[in-house]
Structure 1
Amino acid sequence: MKRFLLLSLLVISLMSPSLAQETQDDTKNKFSKWYIEPAIRYGTYIPFVERHNYLAESHQYNFDLHFGYQTTGEKEWEQLFNFPSYGFFFRYEHNTIDSAKYEHRDANGLPVTEYVNTIGDCYSVGGFFNGNFYRGRNWSFDYDILAGLSFWPKYGNEFIGSLINVHLGIDVGPTFRISRNMDLGLRFWFAHSSNGAIVLPNHGVNVYGYQLNCRYNINGRESFTRSEWEPFKKKTYIFLSEAPGFLQTNTKRNGEISGEPGYYFSNTFRVGVSRHFHQMFRYDVGLDFCYTGETKVKYLQAQDEYEAGILNVPLCEYRPMNSMHVAASAMFEVLYNRVAFCVGLSYYLYHGIYNGTDEKKSWGFSGTTPFESQYLPSAYTNYYERLGFKYYFGKKSNQFVGAFMKVHAGSIDYIEWTYGINLDVFR
């Protein structure tokens, strides 16, 4: 930890001579709108299950480096969001977890439990967006949204099951203007790393903490421009989207995790109405038609329990229709030009497991029937959340691609890799 702190302080101190200089000719500097922002971070792990409570006694130490581009109001969306910035980041995370339990199977298919001495350090790269809730003359109250990939060389434990994982982060806090070139910031932050159930185990690593960052505006602080724009015209669309993905099952058969075939196909087809009611916001409502290949494993598990004489519900034979689901869904989007950050909520109206039976669906937001607990994939509830982003493209920005986490009460189902289109039929 001492070496980490010394390294972080050294990087910041090496920049200090440059922080005192102010470039005289902005137009000759091709980096006139760019800034460099190193940061040191201190974090505490968040345990999500009781057996992980020991995590709260360990801490994480990070070093961040941001390369950002400051907008000045040349485009309408830049003015709407009060002149945000965006760019890319590098993050080094030093983890201090002493041991992690790792359950897997050996070459003979037998269950094995190992304890890894440490989960190792993590290296993350990706993009970020920096905005502000308030911007004053001498200070602002900012937020950052980060997304990218994290690399865990010592993967293979209960928390991180793969080398490459998704890394997400958010932070909020004040930024103070020190000079024409230099800003000092304080942040409260949260970060998450996991692989989206592509490889198990996948509890993920969740950390919150505090940050001190120092921003160096390479060519000094830019002047902002405000202009008049044409009135916004609200639009309504019919949307269609397709979102396939893969996951590894965590359903256990005979006390161990099933490995045949191990990976399952999932898919969500959405159709509905999308309303672009403000330059910065849009929402949609519709129906989700889902397919979950993992359902078949639950039927195999029921067969095992039936043969062992412990099955408490009727034994049913699997058919592909049993893997189908229908849900009512809604999503809200915050638009940063062509990039949208999205959050959604869906509620199941039908599960294919009822097909050919006299069983009825449970309603409400909590609890499932014994029949549903037996045949629905693990962690399924009556509702699920959706969190992710879209990128709009095309001449009229009527097509989009995106990535979403489909999550049941905090447990990820799979990552939806999405393509969609908005049909302008309400002209």
Structure 2
Amino acid sequence: MRTVTLKRVVVTGLGALTPVGNDVNTFWNNLKGGVSGAGPITKFDTTEFKTKFACEVKGFDVEQFMDKKDARKMDHFTQYAMVAATEAIENSGLNKEGIDKTKIGVIWASGNGGMLTFEEQIVEFTQGGYVPRFNPFFIPKLIADIAAGHIAMKYGFMGINFCTVSACASSTSALIDAFNYIRMGKANAIVAGGSEAPVTRAGIGGFNALKALSTRNDRAESASRPFDAERDGFVMGEGAGAIILEDYDHAIQRGATIYGEMIGGASTCDAYHLTATHPEGLGAKLGMEQALEDAELTIQDVDYINSHTTSTPVGDISELKAIASVFGEQVTKLNISGTKSMTGHLLGAAGAIEAIACIKATQDNIVPPTINTTVLGEDIPTNMNLTLGKAQERIVNVAMSNTFGFGGHNAIVVFKKFNG
């Protein structure tokens, strides 16, 4: 019988393109500073839409990062992926000579793939009298797995390569898969993360139809307000996050800088409803328990939870119920924060940028805040430190990130401070 000694998995690179910063340092500084990324939508005319604002990426010029001809072959979600992945790869040094690229993989997530491409091509098709004349890059721009392919082709990474899709848990699922492949010795390093570009007519209109989005058009900057009595839905976000996960021995051998260590992860399902979380958070509870077991931790070991809380009436409280059920009296000693109050909800890319926030929290011993919450909802427990208003300094040895998605998907990851 074959036995496997699990390897340590460390973080050796980070990359981010977000509504509050187009690189990791800017993103992290703005999170610590409580900066809102929300504002009026600039990508299309919102006159007929219920929601007229979002958390868009700002000041982004794709031609600063790639040739215009190459950019035209990519949907925005792939462009975002390439920018974040490039920052992480260059940060990690995996692009240097002498690296065995047959043992480096890419696991990249997107909940929606090329939404803008699909929207534009179908409109053009219908307006053309149903003549089947599609752009030859229609399918390669549309499919969700293509970002992983582009990243691998740019850097020659010939290892494990695929896309994870689990709605808003997608990029956390990518991190879990990468973690497991590396600790089982199937790869030396994996570029893991996710990207999303859903600020389109179909994206905003579709989520409006679900009554999922905030319609606080007169106060866009403060519309994402987790735990607040007047929370009325999430704010759409866009962008990408990339994390290089690597076998500890491989990282040490090549002299890589190590930013943190991933020590556990778990995936579960609510098995309850298409779009709503379980009202008692049973799937989330099970996921957090399994993630702690996988990390070989107790509830006393966790210092910070980056919560999924999207600012919806049902979702926020169900997650807090799950956290209370898992941590019991220990919950009073945790910091919890909802950074979607600043970034908006990046759907399939949310987990990656929130994992970066967790890693940076362990590095700097700072918990980023939950902003915009002025009056706690009557259903919100008062014995939890929700890190309201401003960042808080504290020792963060262990941080957990929760992400949940339509279909009942739950994905939880755990990181710890790297101590050699």
Larger-gyration structure (1/2): 1
- The structure with the greater share of residues assigned to helix is 2
- Greater relative contact order (Cα 8 A, min sep 6): structure 1 or 2? 2
Q: When the two structures are superposed, what TM-score results if normalisation uses the length of structure 2?
A: 0.29
